[in-house]
C-alpha cells in the first residue's frame, strides 16, 4: 500500500509554523446548509467587526475559523465559541455584530442567540 503522507511539493511559508495569538476560538459553519442561509456573508461581517475592534489573532482576541457541517443545520448558520462552549444561531448581520461586541469584545454570553443551553 502506498504511503499517502508526504511533504513533497507542499507549499510552505514561515508564518505557517506559528500558532496565532488568541483568547477565544470561534468556529463559523460554512457547510452546505449554513452557506445557503448566508454564512459566507456573515463570515465577512464577523471578520470586519473583529478587525475594527483589533480582535483578530491578537492576545485577548479571536481565532476565527470556518468549518464544515457542525450538525444542527436547521438552527444555523451555526457559530461556536470556545472556551465558553457556546452554540449560537446567527440569523442576521445584526446578530453577528452583536456577538462580536457583546461576547467577543465584551466577554458576555448572548443568551437569546444560544441554540443549546449551556451546562
Helices (H), 19-61: 32-36, 39-52
User: Binding of ligand FES at residue 71 (CB under 6 A)?
Assistant: yes
Find, among 86, 109, 84, 87, the residue nearest to 98 by Cα: 109
Q: With contacts defined by CB under 6 A, name the span among 8-16, 44-52, 68-76, 92-100 that binds ligand FES.
A: 68-76
CA dihedral 110, 84, 67, 32 (to 10 degrees): -40
User: 86-89 and 78-82 as β-strands: parallel, antiparallel, unpaired?
Assistant: antiparallel
80 scored as a contact of ligand FES (CB under 6 A) = no
Point out which span in 7-15, 49-57, 73-81, 96-104 binds ligand FES (CB under 6 A). 73-81
Least distance between ligand FES and beta carbon 54 (Å): 28
Cβ-proximal residue to ligand FES, closest one: 31
Which residues in this chain contact ligand FES in the complex, by CB under 6 A? 29, 31-34, 69-73, 76, 78
Amino acid at each position: 500500500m502506498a504511503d499517502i503522507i508526504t511533504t513533497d511539493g507542499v507549499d510552505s511559508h514561515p508564518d505557517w509554523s506559528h500558532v496565532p495569538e488568541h483568547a477565544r476560538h470561534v468556529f463559523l459553519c460554512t457547510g452546505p446548509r449554513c452557506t445557503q442561509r448566508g454564512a459566507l456573508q456573515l463570515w465577512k461581517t464577523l471578520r470586519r467587526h473583529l478587525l475594527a475592534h483589533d480582535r483578530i489573532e491578537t492576545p485577548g482576541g479571536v481565532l476565527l475559523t470556518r468549518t464544515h457541517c457542525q450538525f444542527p443545520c436547521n438552527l444555523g448558520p451555526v457559530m461556536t465559541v470556545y472556551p465558553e462552549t457556546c452554540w449560537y444561531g446567527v440569523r442576521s448581520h445584526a446578530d453577528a455584530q452583536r456577538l462580536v461586541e457583546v461576547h467577543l469584545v465584551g466577554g458576555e454570553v448572548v443568551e437569546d442567540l444560544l441554540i443549546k443551553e449551556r451546562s
